[in-house]
Chain A
Amino acid sequence: MTVPISYYLVLAAVLFSIGVASFLIKRNIITIFMSIELMLNAVNLTFVAFAHMWHQITGQIFVFFVMVVAAAEAAVGLAIIIAIFRTRRTLNVDQVNLLKN
């Protein structure tokens, strides 16, 4: 018995929505960053599912690129997070609020 494609797509959509929700709700920068990774992985799952459906390699190649770029982004993101922790001694987004009127 094969699992229908819609199952994968629904799972990916749910994961993406969880990522969006936790991006908006969570207050710790690391957790917010993790929710972005969750969104990207939901996209990857969608790509792989569609690649299987269309019998095309394009989707799977795309996933590799997304993973590589996500790794590069993580490197830069963690560096920025370290810089902000050094200057502010906190990772709570509500306390990182110098830039207001």
Chain B
Amino acid sequence: MSPNVLALLPEIILTITGVLVMVAEPVLPAGQSRKPLGVLAILGTLAAGFASWYQLGFGTIHAYFNTIQVDSFSVFFHLLIAAIVLVTLLSSLDYFEGHASHAGEYFALTLFGATGMMLMTCSVELLMVFVGLEISSISTYILAGFRKGQASATESSIKYFLLGSFATAFFLYGIALAFGSTGSTRIDVISQNLASTATPTLALLSLALIIIGIGFKVSAAPFHVWTPDVYQGAPAPVVGLMSTAPKAAAFAVLLRILFSGFPSYEPRWASLIWIIAALSMTVGNLGALLQRDVKRMLAYSSIAHAGYLLVAYTAFPADGIASACFYTAAYAAMNVGAFTVITQIGGYRENVRTIEDYSGLALKRPVLAAVLGFFLLSLIGIPFTGGFFGKFYVFSAALHAGHVWLAVIGLLNSGIACFYYLRLLASLYSRRPAIEDNLFDGITVTLPAALALTITAAATLLLGIAPNQVLSLAQRSAAATAPGSANSTTNASR
């Protein structure tokens, strides 16, 4: 197999499957179930995941004129994205039954989005990063407004679209200035030329613009304003997807750009990231305290988690990458899990919205309530969950790097976060006021959805009791990305 095909094998598989699903969609008669297309999409995602795993055996692959670099870092994120997409597809396989006649487009768009995200993580040329970013963004803009008859869904979609394009323009301007300052858009060449650049101010400005652009995409404060509205209006399975997979890809891009592209500017960007991280944690957690809508609350919680993740970036070089990778995986498992439960409870119409609506769930559906409770505990960071080790590695990496105050702010924020997660948890296990008691009667957990819940719950639990497997993979990916960082990778493994 030529290295070009091998390097983009997962993306090629996803694209072909996506095109097949998209072409088959209009051929099927209008009333017919779209589930076979969903199954095809799931098979394609599985194949892409295995293709990524297969790539791991080849070491570092350079392809397409050195614009694509497949290493253990990109494979880590490929596997993560494939897993997230797999769980999302499983949980939404029955979501559209009897509601939307064009569900095949949903599966196709999910696959195209995944292609873009995977392309982002394995690109070392900012042009390819941009193309991947746009493929993933444009797909998720449409997915956010998929229930197009509903006013709230289209509103969510337009807000996501406008703010997302706005962020893209900033990101692009950053790339343009980096090109102007160093004469290249390849991350490794930028890193080499930075030392001799005649315009360090321009390079600094480009770095700031790139951080702003990515900051929008990962919904870090103060670029988070779109997040609550978009997450509240978008369909629950799509929120589960877009709060984790595109963010993971954007975080991977940020890691590549900061740690391999601008390592010599570390003191400058580290202080910028410090501020953004502290702000995101605080704004996210304080904002979540005020919310009654569960999806909106989890949107603020995702802002806070973006903040925790950015804490890892201040720990330069390798501790940061390993702990950021681990945190991304842990956050993905528990957040997709939580949204899978919400998908099952709310259904297509999403008539279970507020924290009060969830009260008494444990009496009617004890298993679902227990699983949701487990994810909430993991989001808090209770021991024996993935969230605990995620936070532990991130904060210990920050302490090692000497950012004591940032770790203190993070820990204080984790304390604040307990309030709103526990409020929802308490609501699940409280007695329901007797009105409208049929709210939970329509819930049916189908087999694929149960499988999705099992996968996410098992992943969250495994990351909490046996994190070493994922951590060693994260450390390998750290060694692949940051040059000269291999000596300090052992720090995070204590």
Using a CB–CB cutoff of 8 Å, the interface residues on chain A facing chain B are 9, 16, 19, 23, 29, 32-33, 36, 39-40, 42-43, 46-47, 49-51, 53-54, 56, 58-59, 61-62, 65-66, 69, 72-73, 76-77, 79-81, 83-84, 87-88, 96-101
Contact = CB atoms under 8 A, between A and B. Distances in A.
Nearest to A72: B138
A87 B162 contact: no
Contacts, number: 124
B154 A80 contact: yes
Contacts of A65: 127, 130-131
Q: Which 7 A-B pairs have the closest CB atoms?
A: A39-B169, A50-B180, A46-B176, A99-B229, A87-B151, A84-B154, A54-B183
Contact of A39 (B141, B159, B173, B175): B173
A47 B130 CA distance: 14
Interface stretch (B3-11, B142-150, B408-416): B142-150
Contacts of A97: 155
Given A54-B183, A76-B141, A83-B154, A16 B162 contact: no
Contact of A73 (B134, B157, B293): B134
Nearest to B293: A101
19 contacts: A9-B180, A33-B165, A36-B166, A40-B172, A47-B179, A49-B180, A56-B184, A59-B176, A59-B179, A62-B176, A66-B130, A69-B130, A80-B161, A83-B145, A84-B157, A96-B155, A97-B155, A98-B155, A100-B229
A71 to B, nearest CB: 11
B183 A80 contact: no
A58 B173 contact: no
A62 B185 contact: yes
Given A36-B169, A62-B185, A99 B141 contact: no
Nearest to A58: B185
Size bracket, chain B contacts: 35 or more
Contacts of B172: 40, 43, 66
B138 A83 contact: no
A43 B169 contact: yes
Nearest to A55: B183
A100 B183 CA distance: 46
A43 B180 contact: no
Nearest to B150: A87
Nearest to B228: A99
Nearest to A19: B169
A70 to B, nearest CB: 9
B455 to A, nearest CB: 30
B156 A46 contact: no
B155 A99 contact: yes
Contacts of B161: 76-77, 80
Given A36-B165, A39-B169, A80 B151 contact: no
B307 interface: no
A30 to B, nearest CB: 11
B134 A69 contact: yes
Given A73-B138, A83-B145, A56 B183 contact: yes
Contacts of B155: 84, 88, 96-99
B55 to A, nearest CB: 25
B208 interface: no
Contacts of A61: 127
A43 B184 contact: no
B158 A29 contact: yes
B180 A83 contact: no
A33 B165 CA distance: 9
A29 B160 CA distance: 13
B360 interface: no
B463 interface: no
Given A56-B183, A76-B138, A83 B169 contact: no
A54 B178 CA distance: 12
